[in-house]
A and B are shown apart, each in its own frame.
Chain A
Amino acid sequence: MSHRIKAFLALLTVALPLTAFSQDTLTLPAPPQEVQAFDTPNDNGHSIAIRWKLSADDGAGANSVTMYEILRAESPEGEFVSRGVVAAGTSTYDDRGDKNTNRPNYFPSGTNFYYKIRAKAGELSSDSEVAGPASAKGQWYHTGKTVVLIFMGIFMIFVLIFIRQAQKGKELYVRPIGGIAAVDEAIGRATEMGRPILYVMGLGAPNDIASIASYTILSRIAKKTAEYQTPILVPCNDPIMMSIAQETVRTAYLDAGRPDAYKEENIYFVTSMQFAYVAAVNGIMLREKTATNFYLGKFFAESLILAETGSIAGSIQISGTDEVAQIPFFVAATDYTLIGEELYAASAYLGREPLLLGTLKAQDWAKGLIMVLLIGGALAATLHWDFFVKLFSVKV
């Protein structure tokens, strides 16, 4: 058969199913019902929430609806513009936009808008009635985060109670933590061997709370090294951490009555990049032969490199981090590890000031409350008291 006829036949066979194909969708899909448009709660005032009832032909009936298109206009009869598309089976949409005027998808706050939803089945579609007017408004309080505010309030009350108790001189028992008890012995060892102490504040940001905890511990350890006359090396990963470490150690030496023994050149900036910093600290450990290494703060993958190099150099190593993924490596490769929360308790243990011990007691009470809520919540979930469980979900 000549080429042209074969092509014609091929076209014919293709066309047939197509005509048959378009036959059964001539009937329009049922339009979505009860469209509502209202200001999205708990937002910055630049979005409107739209809800509707699914079209009768979505998931049932002709089951032909594949998607819904959200259309918006400035007035009921005005020109409708498409604002977004959602898959069938979805009945909500947040029409959101940018807050500053010069951005392309700027969404004005406070202006009235009208919405309608178009149910689409292939090329055919049908529109719902127009809903509106609705205007976007910014809220001043995020109701979804109330549970966080309550938790913060309770925690604050515990702190204030136990601080006042501590100020009244109430004796407070604190269970021993291996790593902290070993600090004096570790510094003593460095003094005997006449070798320096290495203090690494971690690779977190200067205002990471783990870094702040590390400054408070450094201040107490520096006081001891001032008394023991042992040099302390603090290679820093960030200029601001360097400045804070210099202030902390200088003040510790001042408090210990030995301001002249403070050497600012021992607290210096190495570099900001993770593995270049680790390469340098490895060099310090082996060349300065530090007797005791402290790794306290936020650590990432480099934790094991520091810990293994330190143990090659034969130093006593006390580590502590709140990075859950790195604790296993410190536990395996260093002599003592402060696990997660113990890093934050260390400064209270070392300082023993009543205010700090008071906050520690508050932490324990908060933990007790959480354990009660934990058991209560599990029981509530089992008995399907979903209202109780829902109390603790945060709607961001």
Chain B
Amino acid sequence: MAFYEKLMGLDRRWVYLSVGIAVLIPFFIPFDVPVYTTPEVKAVYDFVESLKEGEVLFLAIDYDPNAMAELHPTARVIMRQAFSQNVKLVISALSQNGPGMAEQLISEISKEFGKKSGIDYCYLGYKPYPGITILAMGQDFRIPFPSDYYGVPLDSMPMMRRIKNYDDVKAVIDVTGTNAIDFWLVNANARYKVKLAAAVTGVMAADYYPYLQSGQLFGLLSGLKGASEYEVLANQKGFAFSGMRIQTIAHIVVILFIVIGNIGFFISRTQRKK
């Protein structure tokens, strides 16, 4: 069988083997794959990077455990970046069974950076009716959240003394798999002019690009890909990066086989024409 016919008619099992290797190897040999960072992710990274010590960022962890695989890496990398610059965080969890999961992430990372609740961050927790909660926080965080997730009144927190509503936060970053982002857009960004960025699941991302173009969102992260770009920017290569690295290699393998198949096909067609 001529060489080119082999290319065209490779046994499937070579394809399977290559895919298997492409997915297995990265588990054992860590190596880097360049990640192209899109401007909408860089905008969020640069903004958080520009925050000085003591400035306040509002991080909304509005997703349930079922969207954790795609969104937890984003919440984690943004929180670590903010804490590493001693930026203070106000954190909400406006989705029904998300508060416990968010609390675990906060305690894990606050322990890592030695950050204290009430001084370096304030975890507000969950209240039903996200629309009303987001709107009321525009007046005063204390209206929907007189006390934080742990039951400590906001007024007794040194950090919250100077923080009344969105005017006292530099920006809101909403990490969500639900329509909470629509409430942030209407009830916070439109009504109180607070700077807003979003990190949504891959499936939702396509619907929110128009808000990026219109300027209502100053940044947008889409699913695991957005998280991996952010991890590369913040050089905290974690879960998202390792996941995407395998995806990249697997896609390269698939494309390689398409190319090989077509090369064989071209040669065989030119041969047949002779």
Residue positions of A touching B, CB distance < 8 A: 10, 13-14, 17-18, 21, 59, 64, 66-67, 85-89, 121-122, 312
Contact = CB atoms under 8 A, between A and B. Distances in A.
B158 A87 contact: no
29 contacts: A10-B158, A13-B161, A14-B156, A14-B161, A17-B161, A17-B164, A18-B155, A59-B191, A64-B139, A66-B132, A66-B136, A66-B138, A66-B139, A66-B143, A67-B132, A67-B135, A67-B136, A85-B129, A86-B132, A87-B131, A87-B132, A87-B135, A87-B187, A88-B135, A89-B135, A121-B139, A122-B140, A122-B143, A312-B12
A13 B139 CA distance: 21
A88 to B, nearest CB: 6
A389 B129 CA distance: 33
A138 B143 CA distance: 39
Interface string B161-178: 100100000000000000
A122 B139 contact: yes
A312 B13 CA distance: 10
Contact of A66 (B135, B156, B158, B161): B135
Interface of B: 12, 129, 131-132, 135-136, 138-140, 143, 155-156, 158, 161, 164, 187, 191
A64 B143 CA distance: 12
B179 to A, nearest CB: 14
Contacts of A14: 155-156, 161
Which of A17, A59, A64, A88 gathers most chain B CB within 10 Å? A88
Nearest to A13: B161
A14 B160 CA distance: 10
Contacts of A86: 132
B178 to A, nearest CB: 16
A21 B155 CA distance: 12
- Counting from the closest, the 5 A-B pairs by CB-CB distance are A87-B131, A87-B132, A66-B136, A87-B135, A67-B132
Contacts of A89: 135, 191
B143 A87 contact: no
Contacts of A121: 139
Contacts of B161: 13-14, 17
Nearest to B134: A87
Contacts of B191: 59, 89
Nearest to B154: A14
Nearest to B187: A87
Contacts of B158: 10
Contacts of A66: 132, 135-136, 138-139, 143
A105 to B, nearest CB: 16
A67 B140 CA distance: 13
Contacts of B187: 87
A87 B139 contact: no
Contacts of A122: 139-140, 143
Nearest to B129: A85
A172 to B, nearest CB: 40
A307 to B, nearest CB: 13
Given A10-B158, A14-B161, 14 more contacts: A17-B161, A17-B164, A21-B140, A59-B191, A64-B139, A66-B135, A87-B131, A87-B132, A87-B135, A87-B187, A89-B135, A89-B191, A122-B139, A122-B140
B101 to A, nearest CB: 26
Which of B129, B132, B156, B158 gathers most chain A CB within 10 Å? B132
A85 B132 contact: yes
Nearest to B131: A87
A381 to B, nearest CB: 18
Contacts of A64: 139
Contact of B129 (A17, A59, A87): A87
A88 B138 CA distance: 12
Contacts of A18: 155
Which of A21, A89, A312 gathers most chain B CB within 10 Å? A89
Contacts of A88: 135
Contacts of A10: 158
Contacts of B135: 66-67, 87-89
A312 B12 CA distance: 8
A67 B135 CA distance: 8
Contacts of B12: 312
A89 B161 CA distance: 29
A146 B138 CA distance: 43
A121 B136 CA distance: 9
Contacts of A85: 129, 132
A17 B12 CA distance: 73
A122 B140 CA distance: 9
A217 to B, nearest CB: 30
Contacts of A13: 161
Contacts of A87: 129, 131-132, 135, 187
Which of A10, A18, A67, A312 gathers most chain B CB within 10 Å? A67
A17 B158 CA distance: 13
Contacts of A67: 132, 135-136
Nearest to A67: B132
A59 B187 CA distance: 11
